[in-house]
Amino acid sequence: MRVSLPASVVRYGGAVLSVALALLITLVMWPLVRPTSTPLFLVAIVITAWLGGRGPGFLATILSGAVIDYLFITPQFQLSGAWDDLSRLTVFTVEGFTLSWVIASRKQIGDQDRKSREELRALSAHLQSMIERERGRIAREIHDELGQELTGLKFDISWLRDLAGETTGSQRQQLLDRLNSTLKSIDGAISSVRRIATELRPPVLDTLGLAAAIEWQATDFQNRTGIKCRLRQIDEDMPVSHEGATAVFRIFQEALTNVARHSAATEVEVNLERVNGRLTLKIGDNGKGISATRLSGSHSLGILGMQERVRLLRGEITISEKDGHGTVVEVNIPLENSQSGARSA
């Protein structure tokens, strides 16, 4: 049966062990080179304070001071209490306490900073998930409810137009023109509703998967911007999670947006494939490239969003120039079977 020691015992025991190790090394080296006795003990204090905190650091300081005074300061093997001994011991103790305090405080600040980053990352993931769910809900409501209302209104106007065509009188043509104009406006509104709903959450991403969504987005981008979008290799049926597919698709959208806005490119090449158990998406253009200032500047919020999406999936993203001309965005994330395999291993 395993017996777990209290954390405090481990921390303070570590202080004793670190001082003992510093003493052992100093005793081994002492007959050979007569080193200064304090450095290794100061190292022991620093390590103890970093790993155990202020209390163990203070204990290591007191033990180190006593050991140094007893074994390495003349007269040896006694605590004389002389002024020279006391002054040296006091200086060493102050140094040790100061080091312990600074190191432990720095460690605590680092732990708090790391915890804050982890909490912010978790919050970011939660917000991303909520935003995507809300996008999907709004898209469905726009498409289903508003689209149905507009379609019904179109049928009513069509009926009125047919009815007006059977009437006679001087205002017949004017009425028909007005109804036809209204029908065109309704058709435009229906197209806008479909476009907005699709941009909020493309149905193809949920129904046919990531590969089909990439193909649809590439075609739509080419039609809207006139920039040729070549799909070099698109692997289908990759086991990517719902969150992973959404993140990769949003990164693809953001990359294409950057191409249209900033690159002055005429062509984009897209690869989506499985490489060593990871999903790899590569988007390369033949534009004017991207500068280092744009990668890290205050206006690169889109790039920061791409990096954060990949980081949440424990993936990697690189943005670099392509042969001195153009930009390449490459995204790598682990696939679901790789994640489960790693966990089971």
Residue 262's closest CA among 224, 307, 306, 227?
227
Please give the pLDDT value at position 1: 45
Please give the pLDDT value at position 218: 92
Average pLDDT of span 132-142: 72
| CA-to-CA separations, 111 to 52, 107, 345, in angstroms, rounded | 13, 6, 29
pLDDT digits (tens, 9 = 90+) for 76-125: 656 666 666 667 777 778 888 888 888 888 888 888 888 877 777 677 76
Q: How confident is the model at residue 280 (pLDDT cuts 50, 70, 90)?
A: very high
Number of other residues whose CB lies within 10 A of the CB of residue 250: 17
pLDDT digits (tens, 9 = 90+) for 301-343: 778 888 888 888 888 999 888 766 788 999 999 887 644 433 3
DSSP assignment letter at 6 = P
Q: Compute the distance between CA of residue 220 and CA of residue 214 in angstroms, rounded to an integer.
A: 10
DSSP 30-55: HHHH---SHHHHHHHHHHHHHHH-HH
Q: Compute the distance between CA of residue 253 and CA of residue 309 in angstroms, rounded to an integer.
A: 13
Residue 256's closest CA among 243, 265, 245?
265
Contact 272, 247 (CB under 8 A): no
Q: What percent of the chain has pLDDT over 70?
A: 82
Please tell me whether residue 164 adopts helix, strand or coil conformation: helix
Q: Model's pTM, two decimal places? A: 0.57
pLDDT digits (tens, 9 = 90+) for 231-278: 988 887 788 888 888 889 989 988 998 888 888 889 999 999 988 888
Contact 274, 318 (CB under 8 A): no
Among 135-139, 225-229, 305-309, 318-322, which stretch is predicted with the lowest mean pLDDT? Answer: 135-139
Tell how strand 278-285 and strand 316-321 pair up.
Answer: unpaired
